[in-house]
Structure 1
Amino acid sequence: MKISIVGATGYTGAELLRILVSHPAAEIQYITSESQPGTAINEIYPHFTRFYDKTLASLGDLDKIAADSDVIFIGLPHGHAMEVGRKATAINQKVKIIDLGADYRFRNPDVYEQWYKVPHTHREAQAVYGLTELNRSQVREATIVGNPGCYTTASILALAPLVKNKLVDLNSIVVDAKSGVSGAGRGLNLGSHFTEVFESVKAYNIAGHRHTPEIEAALAELAGKEIVISFTPHLIPMARGILSTCYARLIDGVSPETVDQAYHAMYNDEYFIRLLGRGGYPVTKNTRGTNFCDLGWHIDKRTGRVIAVAAIDNLVKGAAGQAVQNMNVMFNIDERAGLDNAPLYP
């Protein structure tokens, strides 16, 4: 497959490149940067030395990029991908688009405009939400895939069996999630400086984080009705990882064994979901550098709640790895291709 990466110099773009360089069925055609075109990628990221040294192109070459690619990954800030997707699919009607940003994540563009405050210029795209384990059949037929966010991937996967099987009160869902600093991107920001983050944990964007409607939309699809959740993200002093702890009140009469059965029925055949079972404690370090999602759940009989916990690497299963997983599905090749590696430990 001939592959191009638009926006290759952010953390997600670099992680995508790291995965694709060793992908057995991928041939990288172009990588782009609007800030540093003409620069070799290994000058920006020296860890690519001896592995990859291609020079960065510009979006001014989009006609050629689209014509020469089977799939284009877009790693741009929100508001920019939809124009690239619209133009690229007009140039080459066979090209596949996988957007790692937010532009194609919402079935209803009005929701996107409400939360992201920019007009949606590709409303006719008919994009598929690329949470692979839930939407595999749609992804397989898609031309454009909106890759999920990192918080959303962990939270939706943790809650999906409970919501799909109507085991919890849908008005009681609370998501408390923590992210490593790479989730804030590579741009300079006071809030992600070392001295601001080290030996500190902070909540942010309480009741207003843009991943909230994304989680709600995916869960609503499973439930067959609208869902409103409480979601609070936190920044913690590590480079990678998401830990999402999700709370919900069990419906009266739902047994712990029924909860167990729901998780195993949904995920036993999913290679990238590792079930730690009832009483399991997922740990971010155990997923570092991989496309795995580790899941555990607990029943609090005293309060009548189920607490589901998910751990992922925000740059892999929460971004670049899931994008490659979707690509593998779209091109009908082994879903594990390029992704079947053990976690980095310690």
Structure 2
Amino acid sequence: MIEVGIVGGSGYGAVELIRLLQHHPEVTIKYIFSHSKANEPLSHTFPHLNHLTYQFVSIEETTVDCDVVFFATPSNVSKHLAPRFLEQGIKVIDLSGDFRLKNRDLYQQFYGEEAAPQALLDEAHYSIAEWSSIKEANLIANPGCFPTATLLGLHPLVEEQLIDLKSIIVDAKTGVSGAGRSLAQHVHYAEMNENLSAYAIGKHKHKPEIEQYLSGIAGQHVGVTFTPHLIPMTRGILATIYVNLNKKMTVEALYNLYRDKYSNDNFVRIRDIGEFPKTKEVYGSNYCDIGVYVDESNNQAIIVSVIDNLVKGASGQAIQNLNKVFNLEQMTGLNQLPVYP
């Protein structure tokens, strides 16, 4: 069995890891770390897990001996603790942003903190699971939620050089769980209920992450116009992506391209022509559903990509990456159907 530890055990990402890993036949959870709740039963924080007997432990007071450590923490945590585990030969899968950006100056600009040492950033493998090769990786930077939805939607177009790289517009909307469990005014019920707001325009930390990945595919700098919105629901991301095509295409041709590109990927489902996904249709699952449209009069493509931000956008993809590293079938432990309605 693969023994794992989870750092940041009292957050949404961690409890989703716990939920999913309970059904993984090759994994056992050995540690759930929490500084603020050390020595408390898991069920005190998550009463819905009353049947589980785990107890939070302090990472500072524990001699860790396992195969993998997941970091389900805010940024500016894993970069300090991960080297300890890597030196012990323990693999690290980081769900925060500490190892996603290779450029240290960009990290400081968008995250407001000093970046990890360059050697660690160079070692980290950024892994959109459908497109990465990470079998030999020891340090995996799990992508952000907005980038996952966006990059799965854009990768085929950029790889095939079908679009004007200066035309990319991403209009993305997320449920409030993406903000985590920490209290903040903008996620108070009275502030967000019956409300829709754009935020972090031009300065969201996922913008350089998206641009870094696309630039790597294109072999040149790719900029995006990225606007996130907060909507009054718990889970889900819907990204509507607008791009100008650099050749004439029909919607049938675009649809066939996406079907071919993702034909071997169980978690990416391409919708039939004229059908566009809704967040409820992937709720609680590791699926990314994509719908495509071509505005032939303007030679523009519109891609609609939806995910559950806590699963495919975080914990589910982290487990998918674990499966890849240990040469398991990618669906192992992740074959839950979406929760509907």
Q: How does 1:160-171 map to 2 (within 5 A)?
A: 160-171=155-166
CA contact (8 A) 2:215 2:221 kept: yes
Q: CA deviation at 1:101?
A: 0.2
Residue in 2 aligned with 1:321?
Answer: 316
Residue in 2 aligned with 1:199?
Answer: 194
Residue in 1 aligned with 2:270?
Answer: 275
Residue in 2 aligned with 1:265?
Answer: 260
Residue in 1 aligned with 2:36?
Answer: 35
1:243 aligns to what SS in structure 2? strand
Deviation per CA, 1:134-173: give whole Å up to 9, x if none: 11x2x22110000001011001111111111111100000
Q: CA deviation at 1:121?
A: 3.1
1:155 aligns with 2:154: no
Residue in 2 aligned with 1:56?
Answer: 56
Q: How does 1:264-343 map to 2 (within 5 A)?
A: 264-343=259-338
| Aligned mates of 1:273, 1:260 — CA distance in 2 | 13
| Aligned mates of 1:109, 1:145 — CA distance in 2 | 17
1:86 aligns with 2:87: no
Name the TM-score, length of structure 1 as normaliser.
0.95
Q: CA deviation at 1:333?
A: 1.2
Q: 1:293 to 1:176 in 2, by over 3 A?
A: same
Query: What RMSD, in angstroms, separates the aligned Cα atoms of the two structures?
Result: 1.2
Residue in 1 aligned with 2:74?
Answer: 77
Residue in 1 aligned with 2:113?
Answer: 118
Q: Give the share of equivalent positions with the same residue, in percent.
A: 41
1:244 aligns to what SS in structure 2? strand
1:96 maps to which of 91, 96, 118: 91
Report the residue type matching 1:103 in the other structure.
Answer: D
Q: CA deviation at 1:104?
A: 1.1
| Aligned mates of 2:276, 2:249 — CA distance in 1 | 22
Q: CA deviation at 1:258?
A: 3.5
Report the residue type matching 1:61 in the other structure.
Answer: E
CA contact (8 A) 1:78 1:103 kept: yes
Report the residue type matching 1:73 in the other structure.
Answer: F
Q: CA deviation at 1:242?
A: 0.3
Residue in 2 aligned with 1:129?
Answer: 126
1:172 aligns to what SS in structure 2? coil
Q: Structure 1: which 5+ runs fail to align?
A: none
Report the residue type matching 1:132 in the other structure.
Answer: A
| Aligned mates of 1:187, 1:281 — CA distance in 2 | 33
Q: How does 1:241-256 map to 2 (within 5 A)?
A: 241-256=236-251
Residue in 2 aligned with 1:46?
Answer: 47
CA contact (8 A) 2:149 2:237 kept: yes
| Aligned mates of 1:266, 1:113 — CA distance in 2 | 35
1:212 maps to which of 207, 210, 222: 207
Report the residue type matching 2:312 in the other structure.
Answer: K
Q: 1:128 to 1:121 in 2, by over 3 A?
A: same
| Aligned mates of 1:242, 1:32 — CA distance in 2 | 28
Residue in 2 aligned with 1:109?
Answer: 104
CA contact (8 A) 1:152 1:211 kept: yes
| Aligned mates of 2:157, 2:331 — CA distance in 1 | 26
1:60 aligns to what SS in structure 2? coil
2:55 aligns to what SS in structure 1? coil
Deviation per CA, 1:1-59: give whole Å up to 9, x if none: 01000111111111111111221111111101111111111110111111x22110112
Deviation per CA, 1:101-154: give whole Å up to 9, x if none: 00111233332223212122332121000210111x2x2211000000101100
Report the residue type matching 2:47 in the other structure.
Answer: P
| Aligned mates of 1:13, 1:107 — CA distance in 2 | 25
Report the residue type matching 2:178 in the other structure.
Answer: G
CA contact (8 A) 1:11 1:182 kept: yes
CA contact (8 A) 1:167 1:259 kept: no
Q: CA deviation at 1:218?
A: 1.0
Residue-pair matches, total = 338
Q: 1:307 to 1:284 in 2, by over 3 A?
A: same
Name the TM-score, length of structure 2 as normaliser.
0.96
Q: CA deviation at 1:82?
A: 1.0
